[in-house]
Structure 1
Amino acid sequence: MREEKNLRMKVARTRRGLSQSDLAEAVGATRQTIGLIEAGRYNPSLKLCVAICKTLGVTLNDLFWDDDAS
């Protein structure tokens, strides 16, 4: 994931009606960690990515795949 805002994650989270704190609690992270991921300043572990995706009902590709990566 490049260092840019992860708007896809924020949109998926808000569509589920979850705050950053709600998502953090559901996946065993802190609100600050979720905020940093959304801000593009933290590269989460695969385990955390999978937990986030399961909670939000989306795939890894939906949230974390960069189509511009070569």
Structure 2
Amino acid sequence: MPVVLTEHAKQRMQKRGMDEGLVLEIIDTGIQKDAGNGHFWIYKNFEHRQDNLLCVAVVIENVMVVKTIMHHWENTP
């Protein structure tokens, strides 16, 4: 499935010292949590980073749109 990054997501990536490869790794191997109405959080812990958990907020339709990139994310029930 194609992945599209919004301008906001690109800005957050740069601010958080992340590249597209890291975002794709989170999408490919992270844990997906339903946020409702086709929106999801996908998150992953990276031991070598001090800003865990890293999370991408996405909308999944015909393409996966990465809306933003978060760090210090908390997986709450």
How would you bin the TM-score normalised by the shorter chain?
Answer: 0.3 to 0.5
Q: Which has the higher helix share?
A: 1
Structure exhibiting the larger radius of gyration computed from Cα positions: 2
Q: Which has the higher relative contact order, 1 or 2, with Cα contacts under 8 A spaced 6 or more apart? A: 1
TM score, norm. by length of structure 1? 0.38
TM score, norm. by length of structure 2? 0.36
Q: Which has the higher strand share?
A: 2
